[in-house]
A and B are shown apart, each in its own frame.
Chain A
């Protein structure tokens, strides 16, 4: 079977997701300006420990091999380790994303003793000034301290997870060197205009020239760097980057949010992309297999305005979430279309009508992007 046939099968959806993200809580000690889930305050409706375990039982029955846990800051949940151990004990591997604030030496050693566990520490700048402008004052030091603890605990190859922005594109080689110095693995993903990113994306997203720079860097380094296949929109520039070249939303990917709502992907926490709830009758499996939204996403997509572009087969029109939250039509070019085909449309968009996230758990006084990076003295 050719790769093309495999992709067309995957587009029709599988009986269970390959890549399932579960945001454990909306509570967070940070207030990153690009937070996909607009996290900050805990939601009273958060799944209880018993509900969370029932969900894990269901995922085991569906043979979900591993889950990606995020938040908010997942380690804020008091039952974090209990759920981690329950999941891994049921043969569901865990990869979790954290800002590292709660990884002290004892917790690092506890994490290092667990099998089938991957830890991703988020870092968005190679220096405190670049990082903290996005992730908040002191967040760089917290992340580096967590990395030091994991290294001291012999955790093994943990991951350092970067969201590429206009301000850190030039630091990619430095991030790779930092990861290598820890024996860690670098993970580089695309900035989405989701959550609080709706507001920060226009000033943070890489320029068109930087898109080309990212593409060249990934071509040169891609085999040793994880990307979550998030840069497939750049395949329009030539040779395909490693990974599946398709949008997996509702087909092989989905998101379960802290209150049990199921969305098509981690980047579309919005009513329009909500398929149901794990609390509904039939649980997660019924939502995954039968929701009208997911059935629709598994239909062949229309190339729309991209049909006349010779690159559509290569880039697939890009990311659904990126189009939605910039106010662009879903059957047209990605806002970061490498050929520049979205530039005119983006300029014509009235920012006032761009959809906002349906849920906002931001704390009352979020960090403002206007705080520019400052030189370290």
Chain B
């Protein structure tokens, strides 16, 4: 997708994603691809929702007070959320991005019925 390290990217929640706070973190639902994603750590939820206010993931982690020793695990979590289209690169004049595909068939549905 890009050769820049994820820590340097300007990111945001996908506009088609809604977050619902839960005791374990949050439920993320993507209205486009109908995927339900369990965000299993409250700190990751806090970072994900703050992304759009900062120039990069690194700046967001600093602003959220995340100790640098923990950055690799956060970076991994954010990459995972990008793969499920919960988070995307923010369009900027310097680094325009293409929107993630939203036409793929849904792969998760109602759970535990």
Contact = CB atoms under 8 A, between A and B. Distances in A.
Nearest to A226: B109
Contact of B23 (A9, A95, A185): A9
Contact of A252 (B23, B103, B112): B112
A109 interface: no
Contacts of A265: 113
Interface string B22-55: 1111010101001010101100000000000000
Nearest to A265: B113
A266 B18 CA distance: 26
A303 B29 CA distance: 33
A340 interface: no
Main secondary structure of the interface of B (DSSP, over half): loop
Contacts, number: 89
A30 to B, nearest CB: 21
A1 to B, nearest CB: 4
Interface residues on B, range: 20 to 34
A14 B31 contact: no
29 contacts: A5-B24, A5-B40, A9-B23, A10-B112, A15-B22, A16-B20, A18-B27, A18-B110, A63-B18, A65-B18, A65-B36, A66-B29, A93-B31, A93-B34, A95-B109, A116-B31, A157-B106, A187-B109, A223-B107, A226-B106, A228-B110, A229-B110, A229-B111, A244-B111, A247-B112, A248-B113, A253-B110, A253-B113, A266-B113
Closest 10 CB pairs of A and B: A248-B112, A19-B110, A65-B29, A1-B40, A228-B113, A63-B20, A157-B105, A244-B112, A9-B24, A244-B111
Interface of A: 1, 5-6, 9-10, 12, 14-16, 18-19, 21, 63, 65-66, 68, 91, 93, 95, 115-116, 118, 156-157, 185, 187, 189, 223-224, 226, 228-230, 232, 243-244, 246-248, 251-253, 265-266
